[in-house]
Structure 1
Amino acid sequence: MTDFFKNIPPVRFEGPQTPNDFAFRHYNPDEIVMGKPMKDHLRFACAYWHSFAWPGGDPFGGQTFERPWFGDTMDLARLKADVAFEMFQILGVPYFCFHDADVRPEGETFAASLRNLEEIVDYIAQKMDETSVKLLWGTANLFSHRRFMAGAATNPDPEVFAYSAATIKSCMDATIRLGGENYVLWGGREGYETLLNTDMGRERAQAGRMLQMVVDYKYKTGFKGAILIEPKPQEPTKHQYDYDVATVYGFLKDFGLEGEVKVNVEQGHAILAGHSFEHELALARELGIFGSIDMNRNDYQSGWDTDQFPNNVPEMALAYYEVLRAGGFTTGGTNFDARLRRQSLDPEDLILAHVGGMDACAAGLKAAAAMLEDGKLEAARAARYAGWDNETGKALMTSDLDSIAARVVAEDINPAPRSGRQERLENLVNRYL
């Protein structure tokens, strides 16, 4: 045991009225919601990078956190793992997620970095055996190092493409070694800053080929988990090939991968793309590519990706409503891709941030389940589209313009507008919160 979280007890459910800050008010992991325990609906995971690797900087200021494991040695990497698994146990989360760069120091060569990764993965495997905490997904950091400044798969230098492919293979191997249930690709640098030096067609082809190789390697190794892409717009590059769910789906269709790859949707990225979180989740469900979620929020004023912990229960309710409509998670889950504010320096802050986020998600899930079980929203939706379910409505989908136009003239069709009843439905949603 380390002393980083000393005197912080395991967090337990104590109910809405508890005065204890270090307790759950809404997250009761064993509470049955729609026929299964809440913990199985939410499948919480902690993000290794924000919780243990992020130094507290922002675009205008450097490091504010001083953590005893910061440094580039294997001993410190093991200390970081010790502290991480202590936090997972305090919170009672069943999963975690990581990039290679989060868990191992960078070596002077790829081979040295690989040796460091393999060594720390063996150590993490021991921690997982001791605690029963599992890996929701692994991924590769193909964006932080200066070699990736012009992208990874989309880089104009084929040697960077090769280095990226080797890195992905090593991270897939690590994910498989640790029994990960998904593998995620996040393309923060897979875009461009100016068309003056960019060949878009070539870059898309490179990105598509890389993804095909990932899928091929999945089958070669027998990996049973899902391959996920995380849509990301505008940041850090201003034009990205995985901008949002719709863009990713078009990309997958182009390369024949729509049946092989799903999406890991992040709340903050959805907002950056000009959408709502529930929009991106609903579209992923309709397209058959819903996989998992990264849970966080953006600052409502700053307009950029601040990765704050979620605390808006109405937003969570609408998000989990779409998750439940999609049938819930299978291999996916709720990963807190969220970080402390750079002024939140204390170990207690790290615990309480997760406690608040887990409670907000739990309250949102319960509201979403109540909405779905009550059925009034779905009934209103069905009533609005009821005309398409009769024979006349169905016939429109198989008719042509000539026959439809002839019918409109013959039957003197002159439809009157019907209310969408938006405010009534918004009021209805608020009754469940």
Structure 2
Amino acid sequence: MGRLKSLMLLLLLVFLNLVAYPVIAAGPPTCPADFGGKCSDPGEWEGEFFPGIPKIKYEGPSSKNTLAFKWYNAEEEILGKKMKDWMRFSVAFWHTFRGAGGDPFGAATKFWPWEDGTNSLAMAKRRMRANFEFIDKLGVDRWCFHDRDIAPEGKTLEETNAYLDEIVALAKELQGTKIRPLWGTAQLFFHPRYMHGAATSPEVHVYAYAAAQVKKAMEVTHYLGGENYVFWGGREGYQSLLNTDMERELNHLARFCEAAVAYKKKIGFNGTLLIEPKPQEPTKHQYASNLT
């Protein structure tokens, strides 16, 4: 009799799981933009972006509140400096607001409710406002960005720079005097023009475009009070040595970096220039594979 009850209970659990799974799997995403719908009107987003989420506070390791810091106490002094000055956390705009939770083998899995499925200037402004509400509620005072994360690319470089200027002006207003970028950088890897590199591209017009893009990205980082400027050469490398002139490419890369250093001094940017190393991906081998 006991075995029969156990079997019936097991069958009941399997049945409930089969019934519940389609409901969970078929549940609508937060935003239906990928299905051709609209998440909201094209105008300004009304209300909070993260409603019901209070400012995150330190409550100590014994707190049961999932929206509280257990160990990070921003104002606690350690060896003469506040913890927030030792740990300069920043909100990465790319990962936080542009990442869709997909991978090379699957579709997007994350949909913000304020997204409308476009990369318009109005949408960029909405994302920027969401960014600073998130920063405020999280209680950090730094953020970081790629230029093309925060503003759309236009038909020409001039149009693109105008879009970027408009978004940066909004960011300057929203960040006030307390918040500033930990770093800014130019996105020199996503657009098809950079498929064979930016500073190491065999096409001179691509090299020139990349230089102009870095110039503008460094200017806006400086304007926003950024502490650093980052170089990540995701496309600066090779897939095969059979069609690669490494000496020439490395010379071009060195000249590119020298020009960036010179321009940094010219505009009075006191931030540190950083190189982000990575051995590979998307290229088979990246020139800035390590810092040794």
Fold shared by both chains (TM-score > 0.5): yes
Q: Kindly state the Cα deviation for residue 54 of structure 1 after the two structures are TM-superposed.
A: 1.2
- Residue 160 of structure 2 corresponds to residue 113 of structure 1: yes
Alignment-derived partner of residue 356 in structure 1: none
Alignment-derived partner of residue 55 in structure 2: 10
Equivalent of 1:226 in 260, 272, 283: 272
- Residue 75 of structure 2 corresponds to residue 27 of structure 1: no
Give, as a single letter, the amino acid of the residue that structure 2 aligns with 1:219. Answer: K
Give, as a single letter, the amino acid of the residue that structure 1 aligns with 2:166. Answer: E
* More RCO (CA 8 Å, sep 6+): 1
- Residue 134 of structure 2 corresponds to residue 82 of structure 1: no
Give, as a single letter, the amino acid of the residue that structure 2 aligns with 1:79. Answer: R
TM-score (norm: length of structure 1): 0.56
Alignment-derived partner of residue 207 in structure 2: 161
Alignment-derived partner of residue 182 in structure 1: 228
Task: Indicate the SS of the match to 1:245.
Answer: coil
Q: Kindly state the Cα deviation for residue 150 of structure 1 after the two structures are TM-superposed.
A: 0.6
Task: Indicate the SS of the match to 1:135.
Answer: strand
Give, as a single letter, the amino acid of the residue that structure 2 aligns with 1:74. Answer: L
TM-score (norm: length of structure 2): 0.82
Alignment-derived partner of residue 171 in structure 1: 217
Distance 1:53 1:111 in 2: 23
- Residue 282 of structure 2 corresponds to residue 236 of structure 1: yes
Unaligned 5+ runs, structure 2: 1-45
Cα distance change on mapping 1:192 and 1:2 into 2, 3 Å: farther
Give, as a single letter, the amino acid of the residue that structure 2 aligns with 1:101. Answer: R
Cα deviations by residue, 1:372-421 (Å, 9 ceiling, x for unpaired) = xxxxxxxxxxxxxxxxxxxxxxxxxxxxxxxxxxxxxxxxxxxxxxxxxx
Task: Indicate the SS of the match to 2:66.
Answer: coil
Distance 1:178 1:214 in 2: 18
Alignment-derived partner of residue 195 in structure 2: 149
Q: 1:100, 1:141 within 8 Å by CA — same for their partners in 2?
A: yes
Q: Kindly state the Cα deviation for residue 62 of structure 1 after the two structures are TM-superposed.
A: 2.1
Distance 1:16 1:158 in 2: 56
Alignment-derived partner of residue 63 in structure 1: 108
Q: Kindly state the Cα deviation for residue 141 of structure 1 after the two structures are TM-superposed.
A: 0.2
Q: 1:153, 1:206 within 8 Å by CA — same for their partners in 2?
A: yes
Equivalent of 2:139 in 69, 83, 92: 92
Q: 2:238, 2:244 within 8 Å by CA — same for their partners in 1?
A: yes
Distance 2:109 2:153 in 1: 22
Distance 2:225 2:261 in 1: 17
Equivalent of 1:215 in 261, 270, 287: 261
Alignment-derived partner of residue 204 in structure 1: 250
Distance 1:2 1:159 in 2: 45
Distance 1:2 1:99 in 2: 27
The two structures, once aligned, show a CA RMSD in angstroms of 1.1
Task: Indicate the SS of the match to 1:217.
Answer: helix
Task: Indicate the SS of the match to 1:152.
Answer: coil
Give, as a single letter, the amino acid of the residue that structure 2 aligns with 1:72. Answer: N
Equivalent of 1:122 in 169, 178, 181: 169
Give, as a single letter, the amino acid of the residue that structure 2 aligns with 1:3. Answer: E
Distance 1:55 1:164 in 2: 26
Q: Kindly state the Cα deviation for residue 115 of structure 1 after the two structures are TM-superposed.
A: 0.7
Q: 1:106, 1:113 within 8 Å by CA — same for their partners in 2?
A: yes
Q: 1:2, 1:83 within 8 Å by CA — same for their partners in 2?
A: no
Task: Indicate the SS of the match to 2:90.
Answer: strand
Structural mapping, 1:342-361, within 5 Å: none
Runs of 4+ deviating beyond 6 Å: none
Give, as a single letter, the amino acid of the residue that structure 1 aligns with 2:229. Answer: Y
Cα deviations by residue, 1:149-186 (Å, 9 ceiling, x for unpaired) = 11100011111100000000010011111111111111
Alignment-derived partner of residue 249 in structure 1: none
Q: Kindly state the Cα deviation for residue 4 of structure 1 after the two structures are TM-superposed.
A: 2.5
Q: 1:95, 1:135 within 8 Å by CA — same for their partners in 2?
A: yes
Alignment-derived partner of residue 12 in structure 2: none
Alignment-derived partner of residue 73 in structure 1: 120
Distance 1:187 1:245 in 2: 13
Unaligned 5+ runs, structure 1: 247-433
Cα deviations by residue, 1:331-357 (Å, 9 ceiling, x for unpaired) = xxxxxxxxxxxxxxxxxxxxxxxxxxx
Task: Indicate the SS of the match to 1:210.
Answer: helix
Distance 1:2 1:165 in 2: 40
Alignment-derived partner of residue 180 in structure 2: 134
Give, as a single letter, the amino acid of the residue that structure 2 aligns with 1:239. Answer: H
